[in-house]
Amino acid sequence: MMSYLEDQKRRAIALRDNYFKDPGGGIYDNAPHEYVLIDQILNIWSGIREDVIDYFTQNSIAFWDSVNKPSGNLLSSQIACLNHLFFIRQREDIATVVLQNLDTNVVRAIRVTKNENEAGFVVFEENGSANYLNERSRIRGGHATSLNAVMLGELKDSSLKLFVLEWKYAEYFNGSSKVNDERGGLRLDTYKPFLDDPSSPLKPCNLAGIFTDPFYHLMRHTLLMDQMVKANEYGATDYLHIHVIPSLNTELLRSNPAFPQLPGLTLNETWCKLLKTPGRYLSIDPKDLLEPAQYCLDTGSIISYLQMRYWN
Question: What does the pLDDT look like over 206-258, one tens digit per residue?
Answer: 999 999 999 999 999 999 999 999 999 999 999 999 999 999 999 999 999 99
C-alpha distances (whole Å) from 273 to each of 65, 102, 246, 264 are 32, 21, 22, 8
Q: Indicate the residue type of 123.
A: V
Taking the model in full, what pTM does it have? 0.97
Q: Is the pLDDT at 67 greater than 70, yes or no?
A: no
Question: pLDDT, tens digit, for every residue of 99-149?
Answer: 999 999 999 999 999 988 899 999 999 999 999 999 999 999 988 999 999
C-alpha distances (whole Å) from 220 to each of 144, 210, 236 are 10, 10, 19
| Strand 106-110, strand 147-155: pairing | antiparallel
* Nearest of 176, 167, 188, 71 to residue 125 by alpha carbon: 167
Q: Is the pLDDT at 66 greater than 80, yes or no?
A: no
Concatenated DSSP letters of 57-69: HHTTPPBTTTBTS
Q: CA torsion 249→254→259→261, rounded to 10°?
A: 90
| Residue 87 CB contacts under 8 Å (≥ 6 apart), including other chains | 45, 47, 48, 94, 299, 302
Q: Quick one: pLDDT at residue 225?
A: 98
Mean pLDDT rounded to a whole number for the chain: 97
Rounded to whole angstroms, the Cα distance separating 232 from 226 reads: 10
Q: Quick one: pLDDT at residue 192?
A: 98
Q: Quick one: pLDDT at residue 180?
A: 86
DSSP-H helix ranges across 59-149: 77-85, 92-102
Please tell me whether residue 158 adopts helix, strand or coil conformation.
coil
Q: Is the pLDDT at 68 greater than 90, yes or no?
A: no
Residue 180 vs residue 296, higher pLDDT: 296
Mean pLDDT of all residues in 139-167: 97
Rounded to whole angstroms, the Cα distance separating 77 from 124 reads: 13
Q: Quick one: pLDDT at residue 12?
A: 98
Rounded to whole angstroms, the Cα distance separating 27 from 65 reads: 9
Concatenated DSSP letters of 283-300: EE-HHHHTGGGGGSTT-H
Give residue 183's pLDDT band: very low, low, confident or very high (50, 70, 90): confident
Rounded to whole angstroms, the Cα distance separating 296 from 179 reads: 46
Q: Indicate the residue type of 291.
A: E
| Residue 307 CB contacts under 8 Å (≥ 6 apart), including other chains | none
- What residue ranges do the domains of the chain occupy? 4-311
Question: pLDDT, tens digit, for every residue of 168-181?
Answer: 999 999 989 999 88
Mean pLDDT of all residues in 294-312: 97
Find out whether 101 and 93 touch, Cβ atoms under 8 Å.
no
Q: Quick one: pLDDT at residue 224?
A: 99
Q: Tell me the percentage of the chain whose pLDDT exceeds 90.
A: 93
Rounded to whole angstroms, the Cα distance separating 292 from 120 reads: 19
Rounded to whole angstroms, the Cα distance separating 58 from 119 reads: 12
User: Exposure pattern of 236-252 as b/e (b: 16+ CB <10 Å)?
Assistant: beebbbbbbbbeebeeb
Please list the helix, strand and coil fractions of the chain in percent, rounded to the nearest 5, in that order: 40, 20, 40
Q: Indicate the residue type of 205.
A: C
Rounded to whole angstroms, the Cα distance separating 249 from 243 reads: 13
